[in-house]
Amino acid sequence: MNEDSNNLIEIEDLHFAYGSNQVLKGINLSVPRGKVVGILGVSGAGKSTILKLIGGQRRPDRGAVRVNGRVVHELDNKGLYEMRREMGMMFQAGGLFSDISVYENIAFPMRELTDLPEDLIHDLVLMKLHAVGLRGSRYLMPNELSGGMARRVALARAIALDPMLAMYDEPFAGLDPISLNLIAELIRRLNDALRGTSIIVTYDVSETLKVVDYAYFIHGGVVVAAGTPDELLNSADPSVHQFIHAEPDGPVAFHYPSRAFTQDLELER
Protein backbone atom coordinates (compact mmCIF):
# COMPACT_ATOMS: atom_id res chain seq x y z
CA MET A 1 0.00 0.00 0.00
CA ASN A 2 1.21 3.53 -0.70
CA GLU A 3 0.10 6.92 0.54
CA ASP A 4 -2.20 7.29 -2.48
CA SER A 5 -4.23 4.22 -1.46
CA ASN A 6 -7.93 4.64 -0.76
CA ASN A 7 -7.31 3.04 2.64
CA LEU A 8 -5.59 5.02 5.37
CA ILE A 9 -5.15 1.88 7.48
CA GLU A 10 -4.56 -1.72 6.44
CA ILE A 11 -4.35 -4.49 9.05
CA GLU A 12 -3.22 -7.90 7.81
CA ASP A 13 -3.18 -11.22 9.72
CA LEU A 14 -2.68 -9.43 13.03
CA HIS A 15 -1.80 -11.61 16.03
CA PHE A 16 -1.18 -10.35 19.56
CA ALA A 17 -1.09 -11.90 23.02
CA TYR A 18 -0.73 -10.67 26.58
CA GLY A 19 1.40 -13.50 27.94
CA SER A 20 -0.58 -16.70 27.45
CA ASN A 21 -3.79 -14.79 26.65
CA GLN A 22 -4.09 -14.78 22.86
CA VAL A 23 -6.23 -11.69 22.21
CA LEU A 24 -5.94 -11.25 18.43
CA LYS A 25 -5.74 -14.35 16.25
CA GLY A 26 -5.52 -13.07 12.70
CA ILE A 27 -7.35 -9.76 12.33
CA ASN A 28 -7.82 -8.39 8.81
CA LEU A 29 -9.48 -5.03 8.29
CA SER A 30 -9.09 -1.74 6.45
CA VAL A 31 -10.15 1.84 7.14
CA PRO A 32 -10.87 3.97 4.06
CA ARG A 33 -9.80 7.59 3.99
CA GLY A 34 -12.50 10.09 4.93
CA LYS A 35 -14.78 7.51 6.55
CA VAL A 36 -15.98 6.75 10.07
CA VAL A 37 -15.39 3.08 10.87
CA GLY A 38 -16.61 1.23 13.94
CA ILE A 39 -14.88 -1.71 15.63
CA LEU A 40 -17.45 -3.52 17.75
CA GLY A 41 -17.16 -6.34 20.23
CA VAL A 42 -17.69 -7.36 23.83
CA SER A 43 -15.37 -6.18 26.61
CA GLY A 44 -12.04 -7.97 26.35
CA ALA A 45 -12.36 -8.68 22.62
CA GLY A 46 -9.15 -6.75 21.83
CA LYS A 47 -10.66 -3.56 20.45
CA SER A 48 -8.49 -1.17 22.48
CA THR A 49 -5.46 -3.34 21.75
CA ILE A 50 -6.00 -2.72 18.03
CA LEU A 51 -5.81 1.03 18.67
CA LYS A 52 -2.55 0.55 20.61
CA LEU A 53 -1.12 -1.42 17.70
CA ILE A 54 -2.19 1.30 15.25
CA GLY A 55 -0.53 3.95 17.42
CA GLY A 56 2.63 1.91 17.93
CA GLN A 57 2.27 1.51 21.72
CA ARG A 58 2.32 -2.26 21.15
CA ARG A 59 4.11 -4.45 18.62
CA PRO A 60 2.30 -7.35 16.93
CA ASP A 61 3.44 -10.93 17.44
CA ARG A 62 2.66 -11.55 13.78
CA GLY A 63 1.13 -9.63 10.90
CA ALA A 64 1.28 -5.94 10.07
CA VAL A 65 -0.47 -2.63 10.65
CA ARG A 66 0.03 -0.05 7.91
CA VAL A 67 -0.89 3.58 8.45
CA ASN A 68 -0.71 5.87 5.44
CA GLY A 69 1.51 3.37 3.68
CA ARG A 70 3.96 2.81 6.56
CA VAL A 71 4.30 -0.40 8.60
CA VAL A 72 3.95 0.90 12.14
CA HIS A 73 6.15 -1.62 13.96
CA GLU A 74 8.99 -1.03 11.49
CA LEU A 75 9.22 2.70 12.29
CA ASP A 76 12.00 4.06 14.49
CA ASN A 77 11.28 6.50 17.33
CA LYS A 78 11.48 9.50 15.01
CA GLY A 79 9.11 7.90 12.53
CA LEU A 80 6.64 6.96 15.27
CA TYR A 81 6.71 10.50 16.64
CA GLU A 82 6.03 11.97 13.19
CA MET A 83 3.17 9.54 12.60
CA ARG A 84 1.56 10.26 15.97
CA ARG A 85 1.59 13.99 15.22
CA GLU A 86 -1.05 13.20 12.61
CA MET A 87 -3.23 11.23 15.03
CA GLY A 88 -5.74 12.31 17.64
CA MET A 89 -6.84 10.05 20.47
CA MET A 90 -9.86 10.20 22.76
CA PHE A 91 -9.02 7.86 25.62
CA GLN A 92 -11.45 5.45 27.22
CA ALA A 93 -11.44 7.34 30.53
CA GLY A 94 -11.21 10.78 28.92
CA GLY A 95 -7.57 11.26 29.92
CA LEU A 96 -7.81 14.97 30.75
CA PHE A 97 -4.99 16.46 32.83
CA SER A 98 -6.68 16.98 36.19
CA ASP A 99 -4.50 19.84 37.43
CA ILE A 100 -4.92 22.24 34.52
CA SER A 101 -7.97 24.00 33.10
CA VAL A 102 -10.07 23.03 30.11
CA TYR A 103 -8.30 25.70 28.06
CA GLU A 104 -4.85 24.40 29.00
CA ASN A 105 -5.89 20.81 28.21
CA ILE A 106 -6.79 21.78 24.65
CA ALA A 107 -3.73 24.01 24.26
CA PHE A 108 -1.34 21.31 25.46
CA PRO A 109 -0.91 19.36 22.17
CA MET A 110 -0.64 22.62 20.24
CA ARG A 111 2.23 23.80 22.43
CA GLU A 112 3.86 20.39 22.57
CA LEU A 113 3.74 19.56 18.88
CA THR A 114 3.84 22.91 17.07
CA ASP A 115 5.64 26.24 17.11
CA LEU A 116 2.42 28.26 16.82
CA PRO A 117 2.38 31.66 18.52
CA GLU A 118 0.31 31.96 21.69
CA ASP A 119 -2.29 34.29 20.16
CA LEU A 120 -3.03 31.76 17.40
CA ILE A 121 -3.21 28.93 19.95
CA HIS A 122 -5.74 31.02 21.88
CA ASP A 123 -7.98 31.36 18.82
CA LEU A 124 -7.65 27.68 17.90
CA VAL A 125 -8.53 26.53 21.42
CA LEU A 126 -11.68 28.66 21.38
CA MET A 127 -12.58 27.32 17.93
CA LYS A 128 -12.26 23.69 19.08
CA LEU A 129 -14.25 24.32 22.24
CA HIS A 130 -16.90 26.17 20.26
CA ALA A 131 -17.18 23.16 17.93
CA VAL A 132 -18.16 20.95 20.88
CA GLY A 133 -20.38 23.59 22.49
CA LEU A 134 -18.10 24.33 25.47
CA ARG A 135 -16.40 27.64 24.69
CA GLY A 136 -17.83 29.01 27.95
CA SER A 137 -16.15 26.27 30.00
CA ARG A 138 -12.55 27.19 29.19
CA TYR A 139 -11.69 28.38 32.72
CA LEU A 140 -13.20 25.35 34.46
CA MET A 141 -11.12 22.53 35.92
CA PRO A 142 -11.80 18.92 34.87
CA ASN A 143 -13.33 18.08 38.27
CA GLU A 144 -15.92 20.80 37.68
CA LEU A 145 -17.21 19.12 34.51
CA SER A 146 -20.04 16.64 34.20
CA GLY A 147 -19.29 13.30 32.55
CA GLY A 148 -20.72 14.45 29.23
CA MET A 149 -18.83 17.74 29.33
CA ALA A 150 -15.55 15.96 30.10
CA ARG A 151 -16.08 13.69 27.08
CA ARG A 152 -16.69 16.71 24.86
CA VAL A 153 -13.49 18.39 26.10
CA ALA A 154 -11.60 15.15 25.42
CA LEU A 155 -13.12 15.13 21.94
CA ALA A 156 -11.99 18.73 21.35
CA ARG A 157 -8.45 17.80 22.42
CA ALA A 158 -8.44 14.75 20.13
CA ILE A 159 -9.12 16.95 17.09
CA ALA A 160 -7.06 19.92 18.31
CA LEU A 161 -4.54 19.66 15.46
CA ASP A 162 -6.98 18.52 12.73
CA PRO A 163 -5.43 15.03 12.61
CA MET A 164 -5.59 12.79 9.56
CA LEU A 165 -6.82 10.04 11.93
CA ALA A 166 -8.93 10.39 15.06
CA MET A 167 -9.38 7.34 17.30
CA TYR A 168 -12.12 7.11 19.90
CA ASP A 169 -11.82 4.44 22.59
CA GLU A 170 -15.27 3.74 24.13
CA PRO A 171 -16.42 7.36 23.68
CA PHE A 172 -19.98 6.57 24.84
CA ALA A 173 -19.22 4.70 28.08
CA GLY A 174 -21.05 6.01 31.14
CA LEU A 175 -22.95 8.75 29.32
CA ASP A 176 -26.63 9.58 29.70
CA PRO A 177 -28.74 9.19 26.51
CA ILE A 178 -28.61 12.89 25.62
CA SER A 179 -24.84 13.21 26.04
CA LEU A 180 -24.31 9.91 24.25
CA ASN A 181 -26.30 11.00 21.22
CA LEU A 182 -24.54 14.38 21.20
CA ILE A 183 -21.05 12.84 21.28
CA ALA A 184 -21.97 10.46 18.45
CA GLU A 185 -23.25 13.31 16.28
CA LEU A 186 -20.17 15.43 17.06
CA ILE A 187 -17.81 12.65 15.97
CA ARG A 188 -19.64 12.32 12.66
CA ARG A 189 -19.93 16.06 12.07
CA LEU A 190 -16.33 16.86 12.99
CA ASN A 191 -14.98 14.04 10.83
CA ASP A 192 -16.85 15.36 7.82
CA ALA A 193 -15.94 18.99 8.51
CA LEU A 194 -12.23 18.20 8.90
CA ARG A 195 -12.26 15.68 6.03
CA GLY A 196 -10.51 13.27 8.32
CA THR A 197 -10.78 9.57 9.08
CA SER A 198 -12.16 8.21 12.34
CA ILE A 199 -12.20 4.90 14.19
CA ILE A 200 -14.75 4.30 16.94
CA VAL A 201 -13.97 1.37 19.25
CA THR A 202 -17.01 0.47 21.33
CA TYR A 203 -19.48 -2.09 22.57
CA ASP A 204 -22.35 0.39 22.13
CA VAL A 205 -24.21 -0.82 19.05
CA SER A 206 -27.20 1.47 18.66
CA GLU A 207 -25.39 4.83 18.60
CA THR A 208 -22.38 3.56 16.68
CA LEU A 209 -24.38 2.12 13.80
CA LYS A 210 -26.16 5.46 13.43
CA VAL A 211 -22.96 7.34 12.58
CA VAL A 212 -20.44 4.93 11.02
CA ASP A 213 -20.01 4.21 7.34
CA TYR A 214 -18.74 0.69 7.94
CA ALA A 215 -18.21 -1.57 10.95
CA TYR A 216 -16.33 -4.68 11.99
CA PHE A 217 -17.49 -7.11 14.67
CA ILE A 218 -14.66 -8.89 16.51
CA HIS A 219 -15.18 -12.09 18.48
CA GLY A 220 -12.76 -14.82 19.49
CA GLY A 221 -9.79 -12.83 18.23
CA VAL A 222 -10.96 -12.57 14.61
CA VAL A 223 -13.33 -10.49 12.51
CA VAL A 224 -16.55 -12.50 12.35
CA ALA A 225 -18.59 -9.95 10.42
CA ALA A 226 -18.10 -6.70 8.54
CA GLY A 227 -20.33 -4.43 6.55
CA THR A 228 -22.50 -1.35 6.47
CA PRO A 229 -24.76 -0.69 9.46
CA ASP A 230 -27.74 -2.20 7.61
CA GLU A 231 -25.74 -5.31 6.73
CA LEU A 232 -24.73 -5.88 10.35
CA LEU A 233 -28.24 -5.23 11.65
CA ASN A 234 -29.53 -7.91 9.29
CA SER A 235 -26.66 -10.34 9.77
CA ALA A 236 -27.57 -14.02 10.13
CA ASP A 237 -24.33 -14.79 12.02
CA PRO A 238 -25.40 -16.04 15.49
CA SER A 239 -22.73 -14.12 17.43
CA VAL A 240 -23.45 -10.87 15.58
CA HIS A 241 -27.21 -11.29 16.03
CA GLN A 242 -26.77 -11.97 19.76
CA PHE A 243 -24.48 -8.97 20.27
CA ILE A 244 -26.51 -6.46 18.26
CA HIS A 245 -29.83 -7.50 19.79
CA ALA A 246 -28.41 -7.88 23.33
CA GLU A 247 -29.62 -11.45 23.74
CA PRO A 248 -28.38 -13.29 26.86
CA ASP A 249 -27.96 -16.70 25.22
CA GLY A 250 -25.78 -17.47 22.22
CA PRO A 251 -22.17 -17.94 21.11
CA VAL A 252 -20.95 -14.96 23.14
CA ALA A 253 -20.61 -16.45 26.62
CA PHE A 254 -21.23 -14.47 29.80
CA HIS A 255 -18.88 -16.57 31.96
CA TYR A 256 -15.10 -16.50 31.62
CA PRO A 257 -13.80 -20.01 30.79
CA SER A 258 -13.41 -22.11 33.94
CA ARG A 259 -14.02 -25.52 35.48
CA ALA A 260 -17.50 -26.63 36.38
CA PHE A 261 -18.92 -24.66 39.31
CA THR A 262 -19.39 -27.84 41.37
CA GLN A 263 -15.71 -28.71 40.88
CA ASP A 264 -14.61 -25.33 42.20
CA LEU A 265 -16.86 -25.74 45.24
CA GLU A 266 -15.43 -29.16 46.02
CA LEU A 267 -11.77 -28.24 45.41
CA GLU A 268 -11.78 -25.04 47.44
CA ARG A 269 -13.45 -26.31 50.61
Per-residue pLDDT tens digits for 34-87: 999 999 988 788 899 999 999 999 999 999 999 999 999 999 999 998 898 899
Q: Is the pLDDT of residue 259 over 80?
A: no
| CA dihedral sign, ordered 73, 79, 84, 87 | negative
Q: Is the pLDDT of residue 2 over 60?
A: no
- 208 alpha carbon, distance to own chain's centre: 11
Residue 256 binned pLDDT confidence (cut-offs 50, 70, 90):
low
pTM of the predicted model, to two decimals?
A: 0.84
Residue 199 binned pLDDT confidence (cut-offs 50, 70, 90):
very high
Highest mean pLDDT: which of 87-96, 134-143, 197-206? Answer: 134-143
Question: SS3 sequence, the chain?
Answer: CCCCCCEEEEEEEEEEEECCEEEEEEEEEEEECCCEEEEECCCCCCHHHHHHHHHCCCCCCEEEEEECCEEHHHCCHHHHHHHHCCEEEEECCECCCCCCCHHHHHHHHHHHHCCCCHHHHHHHHHHHHHHCCCHHHCCCCHHHCCHHHHHHHHHHHHCCCCCCEEEEECCCCCCCHHHHHHHHHHHHHHHHHHCCEEEEEECCHHHHHHHCCEEEEEECCEEEEEECHHHHHCCCCHHHHHHHCCCCCCCCCCCCCCCCHHHHHHHCC
Q: Is the pLDDT of residue 163 over 80?
A: yes
Q: For 141-148, what is the mean pLDDT? A: 89
Per-residue pLDDT tens digits for 56-68: 999 999 999 999 9
